[in-house]
Amino acid sequence: MASQYSIIIKNMSAQTMSFYAFQKQASFINSGAAPTVLSSSLASGTLASNASSGAQLDFGFEIQNYAGAKSTVTSSSQVKFNASLSMVSAKSAVSSAAAVQPINLTTSAPSQPVDNSSALTISPLGLSAAIYQPGLTVGSFGIQVPSSTPKPVPELYCGCAAINQDGSITLSSFIAPLPNSQVYCSPYATYYVRVGNYPAGQVVTYTTVQSCRVRFYLGIQRNHRSIQQLWFIHDKRELKDAVEKSRYIYRNRKFT
């Protein structure tokens, strides 16, 4: 079983509520520049009141880091076929491809090289198996981006990724890289839980306001899991003072 981080959520309010989780935005450098970083929801679910249902959500995230890439291509075809083979008209359709590779973060020990870099290919989309690249910042990994013709609207994205339970790939923190460039990505084992309904993979506006921060530390695990338990007490309002009231590994969290 893969080692994972686990966030257990209990809804201690009187009403049904929806929650979603996202990762702290990674730090990126793209050929010396600080690009615009985008974020996606990694998990979501709806909970009835714990008092009436006893229900809880368990959001699990692999400890293994992944480099990921995704491309989108828009077609201007006017007619498409749906799954039932009936004709539907559309001004455009979007198809996408995604790639992912496990990758390690650069360590502070030069004598212990790790596989911290992957090479991106565009046509077809792919990422090479990670290899060691010297000179990267501690805590980061690298993605080598090939030459390509820039598009008016970005169609290529890369960054840190997650593999969903259904096998699909979500880019957790990602950028639209420059052609013929080097991307350096430093992810964080910090997650946020917020009230809202955003399915895994949906791009979300990144904000930590009224969010509950969950920070994990390697080395404190039980049955291959690092566990955080969150108790949400709501009265038709969003979380207050979540960060200030944070408690860490193997402690219940209670927000009032």
Tens-digit pLDDT string for the chain (256 aa)? 468 888 889 888 889 999 999 999 999 999 888 899 999 999 999 999 988 999 999 999 999 999 999 998 654 433 343 343 334 444 445 578 999 999 999 998 877 899 999 999 998 999 999 999 999 999 999 999 999 887 777 789 999 999 998 889 999 999 999 999 999 999 999 999 999 999 999 999 999 998 988 888 654 344 444 455 555 444 333 333 332 333 333 233 333 2
Which pLDDT does position 12 carry in this prediction?
A: 86
Which pLDDT does position 231 carry in this prediction?
A: 52
Total domains present in the chain: 1
Which pLDDT does position 154 carry in this prediction?
A: 79
Q: Which long-range contacts (CB under 8 A, 24 or more apart) does 70-77 make?
A: 70/96, 70/97, 70/98, 70/99, 70/125, 70/156, 70/157, 70/158, 70/169, 70/171, 70/174, 71/96, 71/97, 71/98, 71/122, 71/125, 71/155, 71/156, 71/157, 72/96, 72/155, 73/155, 74/153, 74/155
Which pLDDT does position 200 carry in this prediction?
A: 94
Structural domain for 176, as ranges: 4-255
Which pLDDT does position 216 carry in this prediction?
A: 81
State the pTM of this model.
Answer: 0.78
